[in-house]
Amino acid sequence: MTDRAVPNPIVRVAPYRARRSRWKEPSILPGFPLAMGITLTYLGLIVIVPLTMLMLRPWELGLDGVIGVLTDERVAAALKLSFGLSFLAALANAPLGLLIAWTLTRYRFPGRRLLDALVDLPFALPTAVAGIALTALYAPNGPLGIWAAKIGLKTAYSPLGIFIALVFIGLPFVVRSIQPVLEDLDHEVEEAAQTLGASDFQRVWRVVIPAITPAMISGLSLAFARAVGEYGSVIFIAGNLPMKTEIAPLLIVIKLEQFDYAAASAIGAAMLAVAFGSLIVLNVIQMRFARKGRV
């Protein structure tokens, strides 16, 4: 008989039993039924019920009516403009947000706290005030609009003006998503890469970027979701020309003013479906990057 190690079945069963017992053990903090009940009630009344009504209301028009609303040239142009510029603005905020977050976390300079506070200004500023300020700044007779006109760029009352407004309101989401990750990133990892002969570019590309990619995707998702439904800061600088600079939220307001609630709900439901699908795709990408970072 040979001396072979006999596998201990208890070792194999132990993790399984631990996983099972984890759900049976009482929580240290009591009150789970009450907390879960309040959570479900809140989500049901504030989120699920309104969204359900939004998805049901358009069908008053019937299938042909809903398709007719969504395939209308004016509606299609507004949806294309809103989603297209929101996506481009979120992409533009990625390098800009990374640069600002890097500056705030890696350098110490006079006025750093003031600059850090200014990042949150689009959160606190009323959207209408932001729209008026951007319009005054980028109008053809504004301080920056004059210089843009000299090189042939029309900023205000054009898609470029909408893009600027969406970048403005989406930037804080990217900065605040990346900044905590950069602060918690272990500097010893970068120092080890430098010791092994990595250049500055290689340290950033191979060490920093993989670590912050999930946070950056999360920030882009938030910026995109905010930009799609933005109204107040856009209508002043957009010009609101049908088929050219008319955004989808404004078209919803126009339908409501015409008491065409079903058509307004159809446009809103389409925006909800596209935005929700986009967020799912971005979350899947984020999870894959996070899983690669743990491997």
Q: How buried is residue 70: exposed, middle or buried, by Cβ count under 10 Å (0-12/13-18/19+)?
A: middle
Residue 114: the pLDDT is 92
CB 168 within 8 Å of CB 96: no
- Burial 148-175, CB ≥16 within 10 A → b, else e: bbeeeeebbbbbbbbbbbbbbbbbbbbb
For the residues 172-200, what does the mean pLDDT come to? 82
Residue 292: the pLDDT is 66
Residue 80: the pLDDT is 93
Q: What percent of the chain has pLDDT over 90?
A: 27
Question: In whole angstroms, what is the distance from residue 210 CA to residue 244 CA?
Answer: 39
pLDDT tens-digit series, residues 66-75 = 899 888 999 9
* Average of per-residue pLDDT values in the chain: 83
The topology under which CATH files domain 61-294 is MetI-like fold (1.10.3720)
Residue 169: the pLDDT is 92
CB 234 within 8 Å of CB 162: yes
Task: Please calculate the CA angle 166-170-172 and round it to the nearest 5 degrees.
Answer: 145
Question: In whole angstroms, what is the distance from residue 134 CA to residue 91 CA?
Answer: 20
The amino acid at residue 145 is G
Collect all residues with Cβ–Cβ distance below 8 Å to 28 and sequence separation of at least 6: none
pTM score: 0.80
Half-sphere exposure of 293 (CA within 13 A, CB side): 17
Residue 25: the pLDDT is 53
pLDDT tens-digit series, residues 217-263 = 889 988 998 899 888 889 989 888 888 999 999 999 999 998 989 99
Eight-state DSSP code of residue 29: S
The total number of residues shown for the chain amounts to 295
pLDDT tens-digit series, residues 136-150 = 999 888 889 899 888
Question: In whole angstroms, what is the distance from residue 8 CA to residue 103 CA?
Answer: 55
pLDDT tens-digit series, residues 1-33 = 445 554 444 444 444 444 444 445 555 566 778
What spatial distance separates the first Cα and last Cα of the chain, rounded to whole Å? 41
Question: In whole angstroms, what is the distance from residue 109 CA to residue 117 CA?
Answer: 14
CB 132 within 8 Å of CB 139: no
Domains of the chain, by residue range, sit at: 61-294
Whether the per-residue pLDDT at 53 is higher than 80: the answer is yes
Residue 295: the pLDDT is 46
Q: Regarding predicted confidence, which is higher, 115 or 11?
A: 115
Q: Regarding predicted confidence, which is higher, 34 or 193?
A: 34
